[in-house]
Amino acid sequence: MDELLSVSVGGAFVGGDRPVLRENIDDLSRMVEEADVLLREKGRDDVDGFGWINLPYQDLSETIEIGRWLSGFEAIVQIGIGGSALGNRMLAKALLPPFYNELDASVRKAPKFYLLENPDPKTAVSLLDRLDLSKTAFIVVSKSGSTTETAAHFLWAWQKVREKMGERASDNFLIITDPRKGILRKFAKSTGCRSLNIPESVGGRYSVLSSVGLATASALGINIEKLVQGAKEMDQRLALRSHLWENPAWLLACINLLHAKAGRNMAVMMPYGDDLADFAEWFAQLWGESLGKEGCGTTPVRALGAIDQHSQLQLYAEGPDDKLITIIDVNNRPLFLLPDVVDIDALKDLEFLYGKALGDLLSIEARSTASALVKAGKPIIYLKIPEVSERYIGALVFFYEYVTALVGFLMKINPFDQPGVEQGKRYIYSLMGRKGYKEYVKEVEEYFGACQKMEIII
């Protein structure tokens, strides 16, 4: 059986005066096994929050059909934020060619792809003024339908398209939302827009392998069957690994917990290669929002190799021992050989690069960084995938969802809720003048006032 990924954790056992030892991990064996049983049981029963574990077994036909329809547009704009955007960004960056939107249509062979996430008027206006709206599909993604940023973009795009297309505006909209509840479901019904469901038991940050991530992926030519197949293979293989030292998800969950307990409060995610840049972004939401509660949780730190060797490596190597650093490497990259420039004497010192492969350089850098960090006594995890393609990205995504959920159980917190964002939402509603939220205006004035009490202007 060919591999889906490999994990090297030797470096993770170091740790100076706060070591994480093999026996510490062994001690968790029973706990992680129980957590795994719980996860699979609740998944099987489709309990709220646990639904992502069933996504590898979904029927994709409706999503593929919608994808085919979407692929006929010149451009696709997905309106969403957080879990309704990050997964899409990650898949597009990993699996579409670089500079995708700038390529000629004949090379691209699929619509341009944009996300409207941040309620930033400059971005939004610049985008919608430039696109031919009659040839643009808008995908509005929100489970509740009431996410403020998404609602604002949606209202505006709807108005703009209606000005141009009148009653036919709904032909250019796809709604992805809760099967029954919420504003957007009502809207889809009343206007006749196409729609897809987000399964009720799947939360935003675990939704990339649902219609949320897959509809656009399919439209852009990403093979979503292979993506889901990779997730399924990972799920099935994990289910067969009943020993801690054979199950990479169990092992990583335990190691993460133990380093957190040892005071390493950051989980650095540092994949190598531009195509994996947004994987760290996606991971950061999954990890931060799932585990950051009740005073628990390690902070996900997004990094990118090799670039951050010239930005963060100094700190990782010689700063405090407060991080567990995951490096993701890729086995097969395009090689691309560097030329010999023998006729220019001034370049003689660069001779060592002549004839070398640029694709090898990235992996050499990943291994060098791993080695330098181990030498500096810092704990690392070195994870490798065979290549950046649908099957392996699907497997990697499912793997990290699994690890994150297990860490949540080991920390005895619910990895599927996010109570801490409600406060901010109430404040936003109150300042935007939404009915029923007036009482919070005072609170904002109080807390923001406290913050402004000492204001220095220069």
> Active-site positions?
289, 310, 425
Stretch of 39-47, 54-62, 214-222, 421-429 lying at the interface with a second copy (CB under 8 A): 421-429
Tell which residue, 328, 326, 324, 327, has the closest CA to residue 266: 324
Of residues 29, 293, 331, 414, which one binds a second copy by CB under 8 A? 293
From the CB of 405, what's the least distance to a second copy, in Å? 16
At its nearest, how many Å lie between a second copy and the CB of residue 55? 19
Q: Per CB under 8 A, does 166 bind a second copy? A: no
* Residue 165 in the binding site for a second copy (CB under 8 A): no
177 DSSP β-pair partners:
197
Q: Looking at beta carbons only, is 201 or 247 nearer to a second copy?
A: 247
Site string for a second copy, 127-146 (x = CB under 8 A): x--x---------------x
Query: Is 296 a binder of a second copy (CB under 8 A)?
Result: yes
Under DSSP, the state recorded for 272 is: B
Kindly identify the residues of this chain, within the stretch 199-218, that bind a second copy according to CB under 8 A.
204-205
Among 123, 197, 223, 229, binds a second copy (CB under 8 A): 123
Tell me 138's DSSP state.
E
Fill in the per-residue mask, 47 to 86: x = in contact with a second copy (CB under 8 A), - = not in contact.
----------------------------------xxx-xx
Pairing status of strand 6-8 against strand 380-385: antiparallel
Q: Of the candidates 49, 393, 50, which has an alpha carbon nearest to the alpha carbon of residue 217?
A: 393
The residue with tokens 């479901």 is 185
Residues belonging to the chain = 458
Does 3 bind a second copy (CB under 8 A)? Our answer is: yes
Q: Is 297 in the site for a second copy (CB under 8 A)?
A: yes
Binding mask 14-53 for a second copy (x = CB under 8 A): ----------------------------------------
Please choose, out of 32-40, 42-50, 214-222, 296-304, the segment that lies near a second copy by the rule CB under 8 A. 296-304
Integer Cα distance of 257 and 25 in angstroms: 9
- Partnered with residue 326 across adjacent β-strands are 269, 381
| Residue 256 touches a second copy, criterion: CB under 8 A | no
Among 31, 64, 165, 374, binds a second copy (CB under 8 A): 374
For a second copy, give the closer residue by CB, 43 or 248: 248
Q: Of 434-453, which residues contact a second copy (CB under 8 A)?
A: 434-435, 443-444, 447-453
350 binds a second copy (CB under 8 A): yes
Determine the Cα–Cα distance for residues 361 and 38; give it in Å rounded to an integer: 43
**How many angstroms separate the CA atoms of 308 and 301, rounded?**
12
Applying CB under 8 A, among 108, 164, 226, 241 the residue interacting with a second copy is 241
Torsion of CA 184, 186, 189, 191, to 10 degrees: -70
Chain-centre distance for alpha carbon 163: 35
DSSP 8-state class, residue 98: T
370 binds a second copy (CB under 8 A): yes
* The amino acid at 193: C
Nearer to a second copy, 150 or 218 (CB): 150
Structure tokens at 166: 């009148």
Among 260, 369, 383, residue whose Cα is nearest residue 323 = 260
Q: Hey, is 199 helix, strand or coil? A: coil
Distance CA 213, CA 233 (A): 19
> How many other C-beta atoms can be found within 10 angstroms of the C-beta atom of residue 369?
24
The smaller minimum CB distance to a second copy, of residues 59 and 130, is found at 130
Gap between the Cα atoms of 140 and 80, Å rounded:
6
| Residue with the two structure tokens 């509603």 | 429
Site for a second copy in 301-340 (CB under 8 A): 301-302, 304-307, 309-323, 333-336, 338-339
Residues of this chain, 387-416, that bind a second copy according to CB under 8 A:
none
Beta strands in 303-370 (DSSP E): 323-330
Residue 316 Cβ vs a second copy, minimum distance, rounded to whole Å:
7
Q: Report the C-alpha dihedral over residues 394, 396, 397, 400, rounded to 10 degrees.
A: 160
Q: How far is the CB of 39 from a second copy (least distance, A)?
A: 17
Instruction: Tell me which stretch binds a second copy (CB under 8 A): 44-52, 66-74, 119-127, 211-219.
Output: 119-127
Q: At what angle do helices 439-452 and 422-431 cross, to 10 degrees?
A: 100
Q: With CB under 8 A, what is the number of residues at the site for a second copy?
A: 165
Smallest separation, CB 283 to a second copy (Å): 10
